[in-house]
Amino acid sequence: MKGHEVFITGVGYHPFGRFADTSLKALAATAALAALDDAGIGVRDLDAAVCANAYGGLLNGQESIRGETWLRGIGLGGAPVINVENACASGATAVHVACMGVASGQYDTVLVVGAEKMFVGDTSRTLAALANSADTEVMGGIGLQFSAVDAIRVREMMAEEDLDAGALEWVTVKNHSHAVSNPIAQYRKPLTAQQVRDSRMIADPIRLYMCSAISDGAAALVLSRRPGRGRVRVRASVLGSSPWRLEADTLPGPTLAADRAYEMAGVGPAELHLAEVHDAVSPAELMHYRELRLCAPGEVGRLVAEQATTLGGRLPVNTSGGLNSRGHPVGATGVAQLIELTLQLRGEAGARQVPGARMALAHNSGGWIGEDPAVSAVHILESTGSGATA
């Protein structure tokens, strides 16, 4: 990145899951305090905070000043609080804003908090809120939900890559096995391919166990110009919106964002040691292999056959369990991806550690407009320290 170097010096979270008696404010505060503690600083050492949330107004009744209400209780006052709402990419967007603040020299140390409380005693309200992350004048008139859009895209990808339902089951099982050792994760029990196959069909070919669930949770990072443990540096922070598909060869939004990130970082996909990608439905991970140039078109099946993206493979993907297994409290998702990468690059990921991990990518998407996610965010992190040797 241009300007000052940006390092991730602290990570913290509230576990993802169902927490009926925990408020959105409490979820966020728990993650924030944990990140400050991990960074070895106090709230008065912060120059600013950026807070991400997508549905607090619709589901929890708090509009406009969500971040201020979250952080007031832990003693933050005076420092600016920036509130970010950008669908499922709200968390990554908040990180992008914080990176700009630190890289520009405007701020020295910034706290990023992403939080969402989606269990509100009425699943229909939550699903209705999620549906608003598309152009409501367009999508509302044709009766398509996100699961249906994902199903159409997955079926197209299956035909182009010559994949069968077994590949979709495999990637789901893979990510559930990764989540077993992740203390953040909502689902920490392994699944079998048969269990996935037997789960209810939601939108052919997507089954229930392939879908991310409603979640409560929060995740936080401290970004600073000063290196922290493991010297985890942000090499690239890129945010883009859905492109106009005026030409047949226009690249999809995630590819455009990834290409800019690789250029900014001065690295290519072959130099990555692991990645976290946005699998709101687990088969979407397979689409992202080629969208993020982790493989060429036509080679997704080969990655599956080689099990290249599982722990122990040559490029592990979604070691956290991904959205499908770790959980998807929308505002927290993009931040949680970077927590996983930071732990991996520090060598602190425990049983799911990728040996020798030095370079990692996170891809977070949000909403839907035109033919692409409305928002595509890509971050590339690098460890310049002595960690990541486990």
Check pLDDT > 60 for residue 257: yes
pLDDT of residue 148: 83
CA distances from 117 to 28, 60, 155, 182 (A): 10, 8, 32, 20
Tell me the pLDDT band of 390, cut-offs 50, 70 and 90: very low
Indicate if 63 and 182 belong to the same structural domain: no
pLDDT of residue 140: 64
pLDDT of residue 248: 79
Check pLDDT > 60 for residue 56: yes
pLDDT of residue 2: 78
Indicate if 227 and 164 belong to the same structural domain: no
Mark residue 367 as left, alpha or beta (left: phi above 0; alpha: psi -120 to 50; beta: remaining): left
In DSSP terms, which residues pair with 365 in a beta bridge?
A: 376
Indicate if 165 and 108 belong to the same structural domain: no
Give the span between the Cα atoms of 42 and 37, in whole angstroms: 7
Is 328 designated active site? yes
The DSSP letter of residue 231 is -
389 in any annotated domain: no
390 in any annotated domain: no
Q: Are 195 and 346 in contact (CB under 8 A)?
A: no
Check pLDDT > 60 for residue 218: yes
Q: Are 94 and 52 in contact (CB under 8 A)?
A: yes
Domain-terminating residue out of 203, 231, 259: 231
Indicate if 273 and 285 belong to the same structural domain: yes
1 in any annotated domain: no
- Using N-to-C axis directions, what is the helix angle for 146-161 and 284-291, rounded to 10°? 60
Task: Provide the mean pLDDT of the chain.
Answer: 95
Check pLDDT > 50 for residue 296: yes
Sequence-distant (≥ 6) Cβ neighbours of residue 362 within 8 angstroms: 92, 275, 276, 277, 334, 337, 338, 341, 377, 378, 379, 380, 381
User: If you compute the radius of gyration of the chain from its CA atoms, what whole number of angstroms results?
Assistant: 19
Give the span between the Cα atoms of 54 and 87, in whole angstroms: 5
**Full residue range of the structural domain in which residue 102 is found:** 7-122+216-231
Indicate if 278 and 174 belong to the same structural domain: yes
Output the six-digit token pair for 213. 């669930």
- Helices (DSSP H) in the chain: which residue ranges? 24-39, 66-72, 90-103, 123-131, 136-142, 146-161, 165-179, 193-198, 253-265, 284-291, 300-306, 322-326, 330-346
Check pLDDT > 80 for residue 339: yes
Name the phi and psi angles at 137, rounded to 5.
-70, -25
By mean pLDDT, which of 226-230, 269-273, 378-382 is the weakest?
226-230
pLDDT of residue 351: 97
141 in any annotated domain: yes
Provide the number of structural domains found in the chain: 2
Q: Name the range with the highest mean pLDDT among 248-252, 376-380, 382-386.
A: 376-380
Tell me the pLDDT band of 143, cut-offs 50, 70 and 90: very low
Indicate if 274 and 173 belong to the same structural domain: yes
Indicate if 186 and 225 belong to the same structural domain: no
Task: Report, as an integer, the average pLDDT of 328-332.
Answer: 98
363 in any annotated domain: yes
pLDDT of residue 136: 81
Give the span between the Cα atoms of 187 and 174, in whole angstroms: 13
By mean pLDDT, which of 188-192, 266-270, 384-388 is the weakest?
384-388
Indicate if 327 and 278 belong to the same structural domain: yes
pLDDT tens digits for 66-102?
Answer: 999 999 999 999 999 999 999 999 999 999 999 999 9
Task: Report, as an integer, the average pLDDT of 18-40.
Answer: 97
pLDDT of residue 112: 99
Task: Report, as an integer, the average pLDDT of 145-162.
Answer: 90
291 in any annotated domain: yes
91 in any annotated domain: yes
Task: Report, as an integer, the average pLDDT of 46-52.
Answer: 98
Query: Of the residues 88, 99, 211, 295, which is catalytic?
Result: 88
Domain-terminating residue out of 231, 266, 291: 231
Task: Report, as an integer, the average pLDDT of 270-298.
Answer: 97
388 in any annotated domain: no
Is 88 designated active site? yes
Q: Are 335 and 374 in contact (CB under 8 A)?
A: no
Whether the link from the prior residue into 15 is cis, omega within 30° of 0, is no
Composition of the chain by helix, strand, coil, percent to 5: 40, 20, 40
Tell me the pLDDT band of 141, cut-offs 50, 70 and 90: low
Indicate if 367 and 243 belong to the same structural domain: yes
Query: Of the residues 278, 328, 363, 379, which is catalytic?
Result: 328
Give the span between the Cα atoms of 305 and 170, in whole angstroms: 10
Indicate if 201 and 297 belong to the same structural domain: yes
Q: Are 91 and 332 in contact (CB under 8 A)?
A: yes
Check pLDDT > 80 for residue 142: no
The DSSP letter of residue 3 is S
Q: Return the CATH number at 145.
A: 3.40.47.10
- Helices (DSSP H) in 210-299: which residue ranges? 253-265, 284-291
pLDDT of residue 389: 42
Check pLDDT > 80 for residue 185: yes
Indicate if 39 and 161 belong to the same structural domain: no
Indicate if 55 and 161 belong to the same structural domain: no
